[in-house]
Chains A and B, each alone.
Chain A
Amino acid sequence: MTTSTAAVAPTPGTTAAQPDGASVVVTRGLSKRYGRDRLAVDGLDLVVPAGAVFGFLGPNGSGKTTTIRMLMGLIKPTSGTATVLGGAMPGAAGAVLPRVGALIEGPAHYGFLTGRENLARLDAADRTADPATRKRRIDEALARVGLSAVGDRKARAYSLGMKQRLGIASALLRPRDLLVLDEPTNGLDPQGMREIRALIRSLAADGTTVFLSSHLLDEIEQVCTHAAIMSRGRLVTQGTVDELRSAVRGRLRVGTPDAGRAAVVLAELGLAHVATTGDGVEADLGDLAAEDVCAALVRRDVRVRSFTTHGDSLEDAFVALTGEGFDVES
C-alpha cells in the first residue's frame, strides 16, 4: 500500500497543508503515549486552514479522539505541540477555549437538570461569557438545533438524538471561531442528520472553521472541504476532499450493445485497461472527466445503456491509502 500512499504524496494540492497565518489548528509532531508502548497518536502534523470544514477521518481506535482531547487541552501530549487559534495548548486553554465550541466523544449532561439548565451551567462555567445575555443565547442555541419545544424538559428524558442536539447547542452558545464536532450525527435519524449537516454548512458559511471528526465517509464527502485520514495513530494524508478523491483512479463501466466500437473509442481517448464484458465495456477512467468520455462515445454513435464510475469515492481513497477496510481495529 505504500505505493498508493506515494502516489498521493506528490499531488500538488496537498501542499495546501503547509501552515500559514490563516491556519486555525497546527500540530507539530504531536504524540500521545499511554503506558509504556501504546502510542495512541504518533507524530501528527496537522494543519486546519481557516474557514475550512475539515473532515477528520479514521476507523475507531485510530487516534482521532485522543487528538481532539489534546487540541482541547484535556490531555497533555507526550511530545510535540498543538496550536489552536494561535495559542499553544494546553497552556493557552483559558484564552483559546471561549472561542471554541466542542462536542467531544458524544454529549454528556446532568440528567436531573433541564436542557436549558444544562446549557446555563456550561455558560456559567465560561467566565468570559456575559450572564446578562445568557438567556437569549440559550434560546437561540436551542432554536438552532431544533430543541426549543423541549428545552424545559429534564435531560434524562431526552432521546439519544435530542441529547446529541443539546450537545451541539452547547457548542453554539456563543459565536465561535472554531467548532470541534466529534461524530455529531451519532444517534440521529436520517432527517436529523440532514438538519445537522445543513447547520454545519450554514455555520461554515458564516466563516466558522469546523473540525468534523467522523467515521462516516459519505458525511465527510457531503459536508467537508478538507479532510485528513488517520490510521493507527498516524496521519495518512490530508488535503482538500477533491484532491483525496482524485488520488484514486476510478473504473468506468459502460453498458452498451456496441461494446466493440466503444472499446475502440475508449482506447483512442487514452483510457487504460480497456476490456469488453458481457454487456458492455470497462476501462480505467484516469484523469479524464467522465462526462467528456460519455460525450465522445455518443458522438461516435455508441448507444449507451448505462454509464457508471466505481472506485472513486472517498471510501476507495481511504482503502487505497490505508490498506484496510473501514472496520474496528483489533
Chain B
Amino acid sequence: MSRADVLPAAAVRRAHAPALPRARGLVFSEMRIVFRRPRTYAMLGLLAAIPVLLGIALRWFTSGGGGNGDGDGGLEFVSQVTNNGLFLVFASLAATLPFFLPMTVGVVAGDAIAGEANSGTLRYLLVAPAGRIRLLLVKYTGLVAFCFAATFTVALSALATGAALFPMGDVPLLNGDRISMGEALVRAMLIAVCVAVSLLGLAAIGLFVSTLTAVPVAAMATTVGLVIVSAILASIPQFHALHPWLFGDKWMSFGDLLREPVPTGGVIRNIELQAAYTLVFGAAAWARMSDRDVTC
C-alpha cells in the first residue's frame, strides 16, 4: 500500500480496477488445477479416512474408558473422545498435524512450480504471459486454499464420525469448565483455522523448493524431508536453542483454544512463525523465480 500511496490516484485505479477480475481468472484456474487433479482427491480421501479409522479404533477397540490420558495434548483429546464425539475433531487434528497434513502440503507445494516445469506447461504460462511473480502469488494462493481444504477435510470428517459413533453434548474444557455444544463448534472451527495457518510456513518452503527444480518428486521429497528433519530436531533437547525457530514449534498451540480464558501467547507465536517463514521463503522463491532460466 505504501507504494500505491506514492502513485497518482488515477494510475492506481488504472492499474488495479481492471486487473482485479482478470487476476481472479488465473486464481480460479489455479483452484481448478489444484482441486481437479485425481491426486488431490486421493490425498483428501486419505485425510478424510484418518478420523474414521481413529473413531472406529476408539469406539470398538479400546478396553479402558480412557484413564491414562496425560502427557501431550493429542493424547488428552483421545482420552476424551469416548465421552464426547466432538473431541474426535481435536484428536484427529492433533494426530494428522505432525505428519499427514504436512505431507500432503509438501506434495502440493513441491509440485506447484516444478510440476508445471516438468510437464512443460510452465513455459506456456510464462509465454501467455502470466508474469513470473504473478504466477508465484497465484500458486501460493492455491497452496493456502489447499492447506485450508486439507485441514477442514480432516475436521469435517472427524465431526461426522464423532457424531455418528459417540455421544455429543457439552464440552469439558481442559481446565475443567464446560462450554455449550454451539460454542464448542465455534472453537472447533477456530482450531481448524489455526491448524490450517500452521501449514502456511511449510507451504512457502515447499513453493521455494519447487522453484529450484523441474523434478516435482524431488521437490515433494525435499519438502516432506524438511518436516521430518524439523521433527527430529524438535525431539533432541540439546538443540533447545533452535526449537523456538522451527516452523512446527507451536503447532500444538491450537489446544490452548480449549482453555478458558484462552492463553493466546502460543497461538500468536505460531502465527508469527508462519508469517516469518512465508516472508523469508516467499522472498527466496521470488528471487529464484525472477532469475530462473526456463529450459524445460
Chain A residues engaging chain B, CB cutoff 8 angstroms: 69, 72-76, 93-94, 97-98, 100, 102, 104-110, 112-113, 117, 120-127, 129, 131, 170
Contact = CB atoms under 8 A, between A and B. Distances in A.
B132 to A, nearest CB: 9
Contacts, number: 92
B123 A170 contact: no
A125 B128 contact: yes
Interface in B219-240: none
Contact of B22 (A94, A117, A127, A170): A127
Interface string B9-27: 0000000000101110110
A127 B32 CA distance: 18
B127 A112 contact: no
B29 A121 contact: yes
A124 B127 contact: no
Contact of A124 (B26, B121, B294): B26
A267 B291 CA distance: 64
B125 interface: yes
A69 B22 contact: no
Q: How large is the interface on B (under 10, 10 to 19, 20 to 34, 35 or more residues)?
A: 20 to 34
A112 B125 CA distance: 17
Which secondary structure dominates chain B's binding surface?
A: helix
Contacts of A170: 124
Most buried by B among A109, A124, A126: A124
A100 B124 CA distance: 12
A25 to B, nearest CB: 15
Contacts of B126: 72-74, 93
Contacts of A113: 32-33, 36
Nearest to B120: A108
Contacts of A131: 21-22, 25
B182 interface: no
B156 to A, nearest CB: 25
Contact of A74 (B25, B33, B293): B293
Contact of A69 (B25, B121, B128, B294): B294
Contacts of A120: 29
B134 interface: yes
A145 B32 CA distance: 25
Contacts of B141: none
B294 A93 contact: no
B28 A124 contact: yes
A74 B123 contact: yes
Nearest to B118: A108
A112 B36 contact: yes
A170 B129 CA distance: 12
A104 B122 CA distance: 11
A234 B127 CA distance: 25
Contact of B120 (A105, A117, A126): A105
B131 interface: yes
Contact of A76 (B23, B135, B293): B293
A176 B74 CA distance: 59
A94 B28 CA distance: 21
Contact of A104 (B19, B36, B127): B127
B28 A127 contact: no
A39 to B, nearest CB: 15
